[in-house]
Amino acid sequence: MNKPVLSIVVPCYNEEEVLAETNNRLTIIIDDMLADDLISPKSSIIYVNDGSRDSTWQIIENLNTNERFVSGINLAKNVGHQYALMAGLMYAKDVSDITISIDADLQDDTQVIKAMVLEYLEGNDIVYGVRKSRKSDTFFKRNTALGFYKLMSSMGVNSVYNHADYRLMSHRALEQLSLFGESNLFLRCIVPLIGYKTSSVYYDRKERFAGESKYPFSKMFSFALDGITSFSVRPLRFICLVGVIFLFFTIIACIYSLISYLKGNAVPGWTSLFLSLWLIGSLMLISLGIIGEYIGKIYIEVKGRPRYNIERVLERES
Ligand code: UDP
Ligand code: MG
């Protein structure tokens, strides 16, 4: 049987300080797997330069000429981690049987790459790299990450806890991923929608090897907002719910104002004003909610996501 061709996709944005070391480590891993005869000698490491302003691309060019497994993709401008990763994955899809995505900063343990490949050979199409703990993170990052995850799942968005973008995907899983036409990419939530047999490998996440995080709080916040608004219509439904709650209060307000009116406590004109205020408010919210339902439908339609994914077909034996 032919050994599978492995591509390791590494998005890089201003990573000049770490690239050489990253490449050393990944080369060792590939050599190790070649020695064990697990993967094809055509396997490669694909660096995607995401419009870096430092010498990242020159380093990739050098690695490409001087090292054995390196290929590179240079994006015309900075498009952000998710798009850079997608560019790499879509390129890798056509040249490999299995693809592993990993950050350039060596925070994710390269040692489990082999475990991922073994899981693939066991028949898994998607293997998640999951962090055992977040000890190396700051208190702030740890808790915002947890809050983010909880918020997402309360919005009905599936994702794997403590898993970022360190994962293995088979050729056919990438084929299916390529059918997701949405431009708001949020890979870690799209991948679980693909289906197929999946498994996880666990590792300890380390500090960044060098350089600094490209995800300051502002970016994390917009990442979270993006994640929710590109996966969930619940915020729209929420408007309708608030409208219904307001309508309930309107009924209470109705009773209260009528009693005040009958007792003679009400200034003339107050009852009608007070009641119409509540009634119009709640009707407006409910109307907005109904419009929201339709917008939610449009939103799902325009995404044009694949409606199903066939895992296997058993043809009639002749
Ligand atoms: N990255 C990228 N484009 C960007 C920002 C980041 O390709 O605009 C890459 C970066 O080089 C790294 C990965 O995405 O390989 C994750 O970024 P980082 O390590 O800064 O994020 P953190 O681990 O702090 O969440
Ligand atoms: Mg990092």
Q: Where are the domains of the chain?
A: 6-212+307-314, 234-303
Q: Which residue is it, tokens 């599936």?
A: 158
Which positions ≥6 away from 292 have C-beta within 8 Å?
Answer: 233, 236, 237, 239, 240
Helix or strand holding residue 8 (H, E): strand 6-12
Strands 70-74 and 163-170: unpaired
Choose among 242, 227, 221: nearest CA to 290: 242
Strands 126-131 and 198-203: parallel
Lowest model confidence (mean pLDDT) among 70-79, 106-115, 220-229? 220-229
Q: Ligand 1 centroid vs 13 CA: distance in angstroms?
A: 6
pLDDT in tens, 65-98: 999 999 999 999 999 899 999 999 999 999 999 9
- Are 5 and 93 spatial neighbours (Cβ–Cβ below 8 Å)? no
pLDDT in tens, 3-51: 999 999 999 999 999 999 999 999 999 999 999 999 999 999 999 999 9
- Domain spanning 6-212+307-314: which superfamily? Spore Coat Polysaccharide Biosynthesis Protein SpsA; Chain A (3.90.550.10)
Residue with CA closest to ligand 1 atom 1: 81
Ligand with minimal distance to 50 CA: 1
Please choose from 9, 15, 53, 103 the residue to mutate so as to test ligand 1's pocket, defined by most ligand atoms within 8 A of CB.
Answer: 103
Helix ranges restricted to H, the chain: 19-35, 56-66, 81-93, 112-121, 139-154, 171-177, 187-194, 217-229, 234-263, 270-303
- At residue 217, the pLDDT reads 75
Report the SS3 class of residue 237. Answer: helix
- At residue 52, the pLDDT reads 93
- Atom number, ligand 1, closest to the C-alpha of residue 50: 7
Residue 108 CA from chain centroid, whole number: 17
Confidence (pTM)? 0.81
> pLDDT at residue 210 above 70?
no
- Are 163 and 129 spatial neighbours (Cβ–Cβ below 8 Å)? yes
